[in-house]
């Protein structure tokens, strides 16, 4: 079953429009930005929340970036595999991804790697999971849930399960 963080933190009721911005030093392609847009849409379809991309980092509710190793938040990334990404719980919005993963970008059936290391990790799958954390969901014990804390290498799992939807609709 779904779970929440201690104290059940969530974005405040008055905030139905959340903005997200990408850190500028990453220079992400539109193709990669579309992966994030699709992942946000999966959650906005089942909640009253709306996500819009902001060109300005200042004032953005959610800041997204790829980082390698130590990157200033006390939770360094660890190279290929191990930790893939981490996100804060509401009402802080940071989504960090480990740039040392061999991220798989699936867009319209075409898959491509953006880095050169060994095991591939599907970017959209990880982003959908991390957005769940950003919105206040903890891990789920239901194996086919997005919030289940395991995913097989190269596997794509992007559709919210009934359990994810029930969890997020309990919060929003």
- Tokens 């898959």, located at residue: 111
Which of these, 43, 49, 47, lies nearest to 61 by C-alpha position? Answer: 49
Site for ligand TQI in 33-52 (CB under 6 A): none
> Least distance from C-beta 67 to ligand TQI, angstroms?
13
Instruction: State which of residues 126, 145, 158, 168 lies at the interface with ligand TQI (CB under 6 A).
Output: 126
- Asked if 83 interacts with ligand TQI (CB under 6 A), we say yes
- Tokens 């559709």, located at residue: 159
**How far, in Å, CA of 72 to CA of 121, rounded?**
24
30-44 vs 123-135: helix crossing angle, rounded to 10: 50
- Asked if 129 interacts with ligand TQI (CB under 6 A), we say yes
- Asked if 156 interacts with ligand TQI (CB under 6 A), we say no
**How far, in Å, CA of 112 to CA of 117, rounded?**
13
- Asked if 91 interacts with ligand TQI (CB under 6 A), we say no
Q: Which residues bind ligand TQI (CB under 6 A)?
A: 83-86, 125-126, 129-130, 133, 138-139, 149-151
């Amino acid at each position: 079953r779904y779970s929440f963080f201690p104290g059940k933190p969530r974005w405040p009721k008055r905030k139905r429009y959340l903005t997200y911005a990408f850190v500028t030093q990453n220079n992400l392609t539109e193709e990669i930005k579309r992966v994030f847009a699709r992942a946000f849409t999966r959650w906005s379809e089942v909640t009253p929340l709306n996500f819009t991309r902001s060109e300005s980092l200042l004032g953005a509710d959610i800041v997204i970036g790829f980082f390698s190793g130590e990157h200033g938040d006390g939770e360094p990334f660890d190279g290929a595999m191990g930790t893939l990404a981490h996100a804060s719980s509401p009402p802080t919005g940071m989504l960090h991804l480990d740039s040392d993963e061999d991220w798989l970008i699936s867009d319209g059936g075409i898959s491509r790697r953006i880095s050169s290391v060994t095991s591939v990790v599907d970017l959209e799958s990880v982003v959908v999971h991390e957005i769940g954390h950003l919105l206040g969901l903890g891990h789920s014990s239901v194996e086919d849930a997005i919030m289940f804390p395991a995913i097989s290498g190269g596997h794509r799992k992007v559709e919210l399960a009934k359990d994810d939807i029930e969890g997020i609709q309990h919060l929003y």
